[in-house]
Chain A
Amino acid sequence: MRVRIEKRLLPSRWMTLSVPILSLALALLVIAFVFWGYGVSPLLAYKRIFLGAFGSLYGLSETIVKAIPLMICGVGLAIAFKALVWNIGAEGQLLMGAVAATWVALYVIPDAPAAVLLPCMFMAGFLGGAIWGFIPGILKAKLKANEVITSLMMVYIASELVNYLVYGPWKGAEEWGFPYTSKFPSSAQLPRLLGTRIHYPTLILALLLAVLVYVLMMRTKLGYEIRVTGENPEAARYAGMSYFKTVVLVMLISGGLAGLAGVGEVAGIHYRLRYPQGISPGYGFTAIIVAWLGRLNPLAVIPTSLLFGGLLVGGDAIQVALGLPVATINIFNGVILFFVLGGELLTRYRITLERREK
């Protein structure tokens, strides 16, 4: 017997939908064994995760709360990854968006009315994230520096910068020694859906962005250039498309979007800048999987971000209930990504078993 792997000409529509779902199911099965090995009943763990995330109105609202930054970051990363630009630094870009928004809210125009202040915060946040994405982008486009490393190093730098600010110059006077800035003025706080933490303006923004980016990618010249650059850089160069422009642009956009997610967190949830893990439990990293599981389709990022939002909420629930460490969520991220990657083979290639001749 021999395994043959042949390239499929066109993956069927049925497969592009069913394979990610099957991959996800297999990943959850493998993680069940991890729970079991740790001495936690997998059935109980999954039940808790599911009920924690979707079983109550509160859980459901928290799932949406956590899906908001994942969706915004995931949509941005889908653009970058489509051009085969590996922006791994959404986490840092998110933090810089939060820093920029905080700066505007507390130090630049704290007395402005909400109708002025909030849009300014979002604009500043976009800029903050975009600058943080621009640096790896320009280093890649100009000097061929590996963007995986540079964008990731920028995460560590952003994280230390936030620490420096909240422990140092921006530390609030009335925060009892906590590493927080002062609370934002009420005009810098986003409204929430009654009784929940859903800051709906950001949610609407996230959904709008998903649709907008979908249109950008599918219907505009820029979107076409991004896709061609990713699929066939040689052809893109041949057709006169500027590699430099594409790389820098996708880093600016994906960085800027991550920055917007950061604004949502400080203006909608915390009303202040806090230590980095307090603002984001790794939204920028989880968004990588959100984008990939959505096969880099901005519209598909909507359901995948809800799924991972639920996983984060459910993960919190089992940490408390079953005494699992915070890092457990990373096991989900890793294993799901393994299986999604493996599953892609099924859509791209046809695998047949054949008898060896002779």
Chain B
Amino acid sequence: MILEFIAAALKAAIPAGTPLLFGTLGEIYAERSGVLNLGVEGMMIMGAVTGFGVTLATGNVWLGIALAAMAGGLLALIHAFLSITLRANQVVSGLALTMFGLGMSGMLGKRYIGTPLPYRLRVAPIPLLKDIPFLGPILFQHDPLVYLSVLLVPLLWFVLFKTRAGISVRSVGEAPATADALGVNVFLVRYLCVFLGGVLAGLGGAYLSVVYVPAWIEGMTAGAGWIVIALTIFAMWSPGRALIGAYLFGAVKVLQYRLQPLGVSPNLLNMLPFIFTIIVLLAGTGEVMRKRIGAPSALSIPYAREEK
């Protein structure tokens, strides 16, 4: 009985954490290249409304998800242009992106409020693995997007730490002038990383509106984009730890739903993820300082070629 409860909670924590995992993986790349993008919330919600709208209109879930990723990427390019090309303040530009995304999605999504989505992404249990006792149902009976997000973790880790492209990304974030001198196109690398960040945030948003909920609710990301920013620090800019952090938050969300019937005030329960975000941020920051890893050195500093 207890075991079943735990198994059910763990199984639910994975999809609950999946939008955060997508978003965090993307933000890790953007920040690794030296660009702080606080617009994750805005990119996620635009992904959510695009994914929902396109899926509803075409009946094609995958097309909806693909265009949601594009929408996130396009929005990220605004931030890229402002912060990389125009060297604008990245904090303010990211905030502007979030406000814009929230406003635009509210406008575009008004007609979808209360509309059910008749198309679903089917759960695809993995043969053989799904039959492992206890772990099988928890880990291997999810929808394809959950598997995609999990596969992205080793893939993005490998690219970042074991390939030439990854070296470029990290060097641009640590010492852009040196990277530039060695022939790395600082601007191009940063643009690509910020774009990838937007694409993944858009995917995360689409996962919420098309798969997890599935419905369009105005402001449905409800702070997920900000949790992503904290998770990026908690993850110490490494994809592996992003997975742990995202599922931890998934578990908090599940806990929130499970405690509600026990008579705890829903408003106090709603505070949980936000209090937990602060705790996770403190834990991450503390560990980063202890291990002297530090954020990418050039994070949020615009690169200007001519100013030597």
Contact = CB atoms under 8 A, between A and B. Distances in A.
Interface of A: 4-7, 34, 38, 86, 88, 139, 143-146, 148-150, 152-153, 156-157, 160-161, 163-164, 167-168, 285, 288, 292, 324-335, 337-338, 341-342, 344-345, 349
Nearest to B289: A144
A328 B267 CA distance: 27
B307 A337 contact: no
Determine chain A's interface SS by DSSP, over half rule: helix
B103 A334 contact: yes
A332 B99 CA distance: 9
B260 to A, nearest CB: 14
Interface stretch (B22-30, B104-112, B144-152): B104-112
Contacts of A334: 42, 96-104
B82 to A, nearest CB: 6
Contacts of B229: 146, 148-149
Contacts of B82: 338, 341-342
A139 B278 CA distance: 10
A325 to B, nearest CB: 5
Contact of A153 (B87, B96, B275, B304): B275
Given A143-B285, A153-B278, A332 B103 contact: yes
Contacts of B110: 324-325
Interface in B254-275: 265, 267-268, 270-271, 274-275
Nearest to A339: B96
Determine chain B's interface SS by DSSP, over half rule: helix
Interface of B: 38, 42, 78, 82, 86-89, 91-93, 95-107, 109-110, 218-219, 223, 226, 229-230, 233, 265, 267-268, 270-271, 274-275, 277-278, 281-282, 285-286, 289, 304, 306-307
A156 B101 contact: no
Given A5-B306, A334-B101, A156 B223 contact: yes
Given A149-B230, A333-B103, A337-B96, 14 more contacts: A139-B282, A145-B281, A149-B233, A152-B223, A153-B278, A156-B223, A160-B271, A285-B99, A288-B92, A327-B103, A330-B104, A334-B104, A338-B82, A341-B92
Contacts of B270: 156, 160, 163
- Most-contacted residue by chain A among B107, B270, B286 (CB, 10 A): B107
Contacts of B92: 288, 292, 337, 341
18 contacts: A5-B304, A6-B306, A139-B278, A145-B281, A149-B230, A149-B277, A152-B223, A153-B275, A160-B267, A161-B271, A167-B267, A168-B267, A330-B106, A331-B100, A332-B103, A335-B100, A341-B86, A344-B88
Given A5-B304, A327-B105, A337 B99 contact: yes
- Most-contacted residue by chain B among A5, A161, A328, A341 (CB, 10 A): A341
B97 A145 contact: no
B29 to A, nearest CB: 18
Given A344-B88, A345-B86, A330 B103 contact: yes
Contacts of A143: 282, 285-286
Contacts of B233: 146, 149
Contact of A149 (B88, B226, B265, B268): B226
Nearest to A288: B95
Nearest to B81: A342
Nearest to A136: B278
A164 B269 CA distance: 10
Contacts of A38: 107
Contact of B95 (A6, A88, A329, A349): A88
A341 B97 CA distance: 12
Contacts of B95: 88, 288, 337
Contacts of A292: 92
Contacts of A288: 92, 95
Nearest to A150: B278
B78 A164 contact: no
Contacts of B103: 327-334
Nearest to B226: A152
B285 A144 contact: yes
Contact of B91 (A4, A148, A328): A148
A267 B218 CA distance: 30
